[in-house]
Amino acid sequence: MTKFPQGVRVFPPKDGAPSFVKGQLIINPKELFEWLKANPEAMTDYKDQKQLKLAITERKDGKGWNTIVDTYKPKNDDNGIGDLPF
């Protein structure tokens, strides 16, 4: 199930922005912290620290972007390469 974290918004660059600007990310700490308290399973471990992995996706209607919790986990297999596409 796709989870959309509260308090994180992403937007494409504004018209006329320099080419090195790829987008805008706005974080409302209060909304995000409240959401994280209510959704602790969204956090993952990385080097003995908790983290929130997000992916930036295009909206289904093609009119903007979303942030979603990145739940991708590579498959483990016997040859040690997982599910790499190459």
pLDDT digits (tens, 9 = 90+) for 40-50: 999 999 999 99
Residue 30 is inside which H or E element, if any?
helix 29-38
Domain annotation covers residue 44: yes
Domain contains 32: yes
pLDDT at 80: 59
Residues 6+ apart with CB under 8 A from 29: 7
Q: Is residue 49 situated within a structural domain? A: yes
- How much of the chain is in helix, strand and coil states, percent to nearest 5? 15, 30, 55
| pLDDT tens-place string over residues 29-81 | 999 999 999 999 999 999 999 999 999 999 899 888 999 999 887 776 666 56
**Number of domains composing the chain:** 1
Domain residues for 36? 24-73
